[in-house]
Amino acid sequence: MKRIVAVLGDYYHQEEHSKAALNQALGLLNEKEKIECIQIQASQLITELEKQPDAVILFKEDRVNPTDEVVNTWMTEEIGEAIAQYVNQGGGWLAWHSGYASYEVESAYINMLKGYFEYHPLEHAQVKYTDVKGNHPFGSISFEILDEHYFVKVNEEETNIFLQSDSELGHSIAGWHHNYGKGRVCCLGPAHNKEGLLHTDFTHLLAKTIEWVSNR
């Protein structure tokens, strides 16, 4: 049995919607093999990493109170270094949507991810997600949803781009993956809205990324 840990939800991203999408993806994976997934709070991460789960899924930005005058963050230098060490030693990490948003660019965590969220336009758009042709483990991808169109900065020379996004607002990278030490890292851009999170094509893609990062 594989053991996966998930940290879900933040100020702008409702926990219940990401949890529903995750449950749909896990349902697809459980048709192949038994997976135990536990949801924890960010404050429990270091303790759970010490138990060496097969993978961790992060759907949570760094800012705790983004609308306040003084903004607090949760990922300390200690937590970021613990994450990088866990993956380097063979763990799997899926940074999903807000899981790579608003983190300190010059940090062990972003260095491990090889990329980060820069901005998205205020208005949502019909975003088309398609795979980037090449040797990647997720198969053919093509779907369109109403979404925040994430624009990102990625160190393309140190990772593998597998997903791209296009809308009337522009073009961007939407997914990348790479090995990090003995472990695996995947960053996945979609989705923000409930409808996008529960879109069948998206939950199938989510399942494939979870399967990849958890295969040690």
Tokens in use for 166?
Answer: 């296009």
How many CB atoms lie under 10 A from the CB of residue 160? 17
Residue 55 contacts residue 214 (beta carbons within 8 Å): yes
Tokens in use for 73?
Answer: 């963050």
Average pLDDT, consecutive stretches of 10 residues, N- to C-terminus, the chain (216 residues): 97 96 97 94 98 98 97 98 98 98 97 97 95 91 97 97 97 98 98 97 98 94
- pLDDT for the residue numbered 134: 82
pTM of the model: 0.97
Q: Distance between CA 99 and CA 138 in Å, rounded?
A: 20
Tokens in use for 202?
Answer: 């998206």
- pLDDT for the residue numbered 212: 98
- Look at the chain and count its residues: 216
Structural domains of the chain, ranges and CATH numbers in brackets = 2-117+173-214 (3.40.50.880)
